[in-house]
Structure 1
Amino acid sequence: MSGAGSRRSHVIDIRPLTQSPPFARLWVGTLLGGLGAQLTLTAVMLHMFALTHDTFAVSMIAVAGLVPMVVAGLYGGMLADHFDRRTVALVAASIGWSATVALATLAWTGLVNEWWLYGLSIVNSAASTVASATKAAMTPKLVGTHLIPAAAALTGITTGVMVMAGPALGGLLVAAFGYPITYTIDAVLTLSLFLGLATLPRLTPEGETNRPGLRSIVDGLAFLKVAPNIRMQFVLDVIAMTFGQPIALFPALGVVLLGGGEVTSGILMAAIAVGVLASSLFSGRIGTVRRQGVGIARAIQAFGLATGLFGLVLFAASMGWSADDVDAAHPDVPLIVLACLCLALTGAADNISAIFRQTMLQAAVPDAVRGRLQGIFMVVVAGGPRIGALFTGTLAGIALWFPPLAGGVVIVVLVGVILRLATRFRAYDAENPVP
């Protein structure tokens, strides 16, 4: 399972930061800019509720941005495969930053309303999708093929920090200083991303590229027909996200099953991010794994197993095995701790799967189509959890514990069957990457 030059330490491999100063600057800029984006996302949701007092209006922020996000992922990937990727990312980041500045200006002047929040959030989300897909397509040139797994693990660090610290910090800033200052802080933090992007070398795609247009997008999608390994990882990710996304249950769990109200809901969400962060910090040996197709499948099965265990914890809570009466003031602490452990495992397993998937995508896909495939990857990542929310919301009417328990079983069994049948995916070798 080990390749040449593999590291023996389990601690995260930081060589991409020490050996590639351009990647290091981009990583720091992405971390700070992403943290600012989480501040704004949290502030926008709180701001929308303050204006409308309607949770449906808050949920529509994500729904309204789905189609623009899909379009941006496909279109942005096409641009990244034709133009200098540094320029594409800079333009996308500039558009997103302008939307944040507009939010801050409207908040300072008192002219903000729900339609401005919807519109500027959509612009911000679409721009972020283009920038993220383009930055991911840059990675192999910045760090070299041998350090792609380590770079993917470092991306997990940024994700964990953003998801864990961003919402909490955003809520505190809004409560302490208000919306204008919170939006302004995001605008300042995002400037660090410009520094990381502006100092990059010119990064033009290698090989024959298509002129921007519908044909280029179609050709990118058509590449999946001759890329069974990439296609299979997309399928497995959709399975995981469809049947293993219990986040929609969190508000109800804090009220009717585990107790503790909104505090419990926030703790459950943070537990996932803790798992992501921990698995990245101890990802040093991931780069030595050659059978990355098997690694993806096993990580997703572990994700399904942890999701199923989370469902069992909720079942225990429904039976009153730990506490008879729970409410916002009386949480069931032992079961909340067990639930958090299960969710931390889901976050860790999902992150390990993501490291393998991103490594395969960046190493096996030719540079000339890598931007478009990263755009499709962003669409899968964005769309899967929304399908999962529908699955969870539909089955939650049976019982709150049923969606994660049933979903976890489906993931473990279905992924096992697919891995058994997908011989090429099972045989994928990181030392001879074939899409």
Structure 2
Amino acid sequence: MALGDLIKRHLVDTRPLGVPAYRRIWLGQAVSHVGVGVTVVAVSKQVYDITGSSLWVGLLGLANLVPLVVFGLWGGAVADAVDRRKLLLAGSAVAWTATLFILVQALIGLSNVYVIFAAVAVNATGFAITGPTRGAIIPRILRPQLVPAANALNSLVYSIGAVIGPMVGGLLLAGGGYAAAYAVDALLFTAGLYAAFKLPALPPLGEVTRPGARAVLEGLAFIMRSPVLLMSFVVDIIAMVFALPRALFPEAADQWFGGSALALGWLNAAMAIGSVVGALFSGWVGRVRRQGVALVVVIAVWGLAVAAAGMTGNLWLVVTFMAVGGMADVISSVWRQSILQLYAPDEMRGRMQGAFMVVVAGGPRLGDLRAGATATMIGLSGAWVGGGLACAAVVLVVGLSVAGFRNYRADLVAERAG
């Protein structure tokens, strides 16, 4: 095979961008997610500057977690019962309001950690509504065969935003302060609003269940009856709770790199740099059939890469190892999302995406809390390295213990969905 053909086979599949509705969503996210990355850096830095504690930075995860659990599950149930375009617009408006609120607190110089936590919680509420809704929209506007490619493109755009956003955030914090960072996020968020506004009407298909506790419980019961879906959630929780070192970044920048805001930006961007590379060369991902086993392997790689990053005090080695972890993480994300979108019928997809949102967004918040608490007890290096090693060991044992997950075949499911 010629080198050009080999590269083409492994580059990201761009066919979903030929669908106008998906292309608008993708471009809107490309712009708005840069602002998200800016705010992630600014909020963690502001909380650390106010409190001087990684535990408080980790508690930001708790402020996110409660709204994500409650409104993620509820928002997914609503997405199965109403026009998904309208729900996406409503959730986006909530998130944008929270962004404006956190900008105002910075402009007037409140420096109150509880006000920041409240703004973060409101933002998480909007995110918990839009996340499952957007995920449930994808299989409605694309053919089943294009869904894995669309998820790879989504991961690419999120990762690019997570690279550019933290770097821009570091520069803005160094030159303009918190208000400048939050103002950029508020401005860029409008691109996502526009993309949602331009979507076609997306009324529910199939049997409509009134959104509420019964609908949520039906969705959770569907997951519990499916070992494949359940284990796709479990392995992701293991990855994030045990190994994610994000809450340790402000302390690491302070202790290892002299408190440099630019070093903090690099730490926050490192995983995303690897994710960009992984997503760009993700053309092969859709051809993997035994995705359960593959998920376990790449999550173990993620844990080992995190552990290696915590063993060195050199900024560029930390960035390199975290980038390797980011490559493993983005591949894992594509497979997990594709399993969920194609395994569930359309009338369940909103609820499945709601549960997915709780795990994907809630797991890292629990990971933040774990990292901050263990750093307080055993120190920065112990919390960082120990978490990565524990992740690799636990996911290999747990992930390979369920036969249905080990034997999952993606090609057979795609044929049924088509």
State the TM-score, normalized to the length of structure 2: 0.87
User: C-alpha displacement at 1:275, in angstroms?
Assistant: 0.7
1:178 Cα deviation after fit: 5.2
For residues 138-157 of structure 1, the aligned pairs below 5 Å read 138-157=137-156
Give, in angstroms, the shift of residue 344 of structure 1: 1.0
Deviation at 1:37, TM superposition (A): 3.0
Per the alignment, residue 370 of structure 1 pairs with 349
User: What does residue 354 of structure 1 align with?
Assistant: 333
Shift of 1:116: 4.6
The CA deviation at 1:105 is: 5.6
Write out aligned runs for 1:229-244 (5 A). 229-244=228-243
Question: After superposition, what is the alpha-carbon deviation per residue over 1:187-226, rounded to whole angstroms, capped at 9, x for unaligned?
Answer: 3322221221122122223221210111111111111122
**Contact 2:60–2:365 (CA under 8 A) maintained in structure 1:** no
Q: Give 1:325's aligned residue.
A: none
Partner of 1:413: 393
- Show the counterpart of 1:273: 272
Deviation at 1:49, TM superposition (A): 6.5
**How far apart are 1:354 and its partner, in Å?**
0.7
For each residue in 1:91-139, what CA deviation from the matched residue of structure 2 results, as whole angstroms up to 9, or x when unmatched? 111222233344556666x486635543333212210221111101111
Residue 47 of structure 1 and its aligned partner are, at CA, apart by: 5.5
- Aligned AA (1:296): L
Larger displacement relative to structure 2 (219-228 or 336-345) = 336-345
Residue 11 in 1 paired to residue 11 in 2?
A: yes
Is contact 2:59–2:368 with CA below 8 Å preserved after alignment?
no
Contact 1:8/1:285 (<8 A) preserved = no
Cα pair 2:228 2:408 within 8 Å, conserved = yes
**Worse-matched range after superposition: 296-305 or 393-402:** 393-402
State how far apart, in whole Å, the 2-side matches of 1:7 and 1:175 are: 39
Matched-pair contact (CA < 8 Å) for 2:48–2:250: no
Alpha-carbon distance, 1:28 to partner: 0.7
Q: Measure the CA separation in 2 of the matches of 1:241 and 1:26.
A: 27
Q: CA deviation at 1:7?
A: 9.8
TM-superposed deviation, 1:59: 5.3
Measure, in 1, the Cα distance between the counterparts of 2:321 and 2:42.
29
Measured after TM superposition, the shift of residue 429 of structure 1 is 1.2
Kindly report the root-mean-square deviation, in angstroms, between the aligned alpha carbons of the 2 structures: 2.9
Contact between 1:103 and 1:112, CA under 8 Å: does it hold in 2? no
Q: How many Å separate the matches in 2 of 1:380 and 1:251?
A: 24
Give the deviation of 1:143 after TM superposition. 2.0
Aligned counterparts of 2:282 and 2:56: Cα–Cα separation in 1: 40
Q: Report the Cα offset of residue 299 of structure 1.
A: 1.0
Shift in CA distance, 269/65, structure 1 to aligned 2, threshold 3 Å = closer
Return the offset for 1:174.
4.8
Change (3 A) 1:288 1:8: farther
Indicate how the Cα distance of structure 1 residues 77 and 168 shifts in structure 2: closer, same or farther if over 3 A, else same: same
Gaps of 5+ in 2: 1-5
Whether 1:77 and 2:91 are equivalent positions in the alignment is no
One-letter amino acid of the counterpart of residue 37, structure 1? V
Q: How far apart, CA to CA, are the structure 2 residues paired with 1:404 and 1:164?
A: 21
The alpha carbon displacement at 1:252 in A equals: 3.9
Q: How far is the alpha carbon of 1:165 from its aligned partner?
A: 1.7
Distance in 1, matches of 2:307 and 2:109, equals: 47
Counterpart CA distance in 2 for 1:7 and 1:85 is 37
> SS of 1:431's equivalent?
helix
Q: How far did 1:310 drift?
A: 2.9
Distance 2:343 2:47 in 1: 43
Q: By how many angstroms is 1:54 displaced?
A: 5.5
State the Cα distance separating 1:48 from its structure 2 match. Answer: 5.7
Deviation at 1:260, TM superposition (A): 4.3
Which residue number corresponds to residue 63 of structure 2?
64
Q: 1:431 aligns with which of 411, 415, 418?
A: 411
Contact 2:169–2:265 under 8 Å retained in 1: no
Per mean C-alpha deviation after superposition, the further-off stretch among 295-304 and 164-173 is 164-173
| Count of equivalent residues | 406
Distance 1:277 1:388 in 2: 22
When residues 37 and 145 of structure 1 are mapped into structure 2, their CA distance, relative to the original with a 3 A threshold, is same
Q: What are structure 1's unaligned runs of at least 5 residues? A: 1-5, 315-331
Q: Distance in 2 between matches of 1:107 and 1:254?
A: 22
Q: Deviations over 1:114-171 (max 9, x none)?
A: 3554333321221022111110111112222111111111111222122222133234
Return the alpha-carbon distance in structure 2 between the equivalents of residues 389 and 173 of structure 1.
24
For residues 210-263 of structure 1, give each alpha carbon's deviation from its aligned partner in whole angstroms, at most 9, with x where no partner exists. 10111111111111122210101111111111221233333444454x444434
Q: TM-score, normalised by structure 1?
A: 0.84
Q: Over residues 244-289 of structure 1, what are the superposed CA-to-partner deviations in whole Å (9 max), with x where a residue is unaligned?
A: 1233333444454x44443444323322111111101111111111
Identity of aligned residues (%): 37
Is the aligned partner of 1:99 residue 2:98? yes
Larger Rg: 1
Question: 1:230-309 to 2 correspondence within 5 Å?
Answer: 230-256=229-255, 258-262=256-260, 263-309=262-308
Residues of 2 paired with 1:246 and 1:210: CA distance? Answer: 40
SS in structure 1 opposite 2:97? Answer: helix
> Offset of 1:404 from its aligned partner?
4.3
Tell me by how many angstroms 1:398 deviates.
Answer: 4.0
Structure showing the higher helix proportion among its residues = 2
Question: In structure 1, how many angstroms separate the alpha carbons of the residues matched to 2:257 and 2:106?
Answer: 35
Whether 1:128 and 2:127 are equivalent positions in the alignment is: yes
Letter of the structure 2 residue corresponding to residue 271 of structure 1 = A
Work out whether 1:165 is the aligned partner of 2:161: no
Deviations 1:287-309 (A, max 9, x none): 11111112211111211232333
Where does residue 324 of structure 1 map in the other structure? Answer: none
> Distance in 2 between the 1:416 and 1:30 partners?
34
Native 8 Å contact 2:73 2:355 kept in 1: yes
Q: Identify if the C-alpha distance between structure 1 residues 203 and 171 changes in structure 2 by more than 3 Å, giving closer, same or farther.
A: same
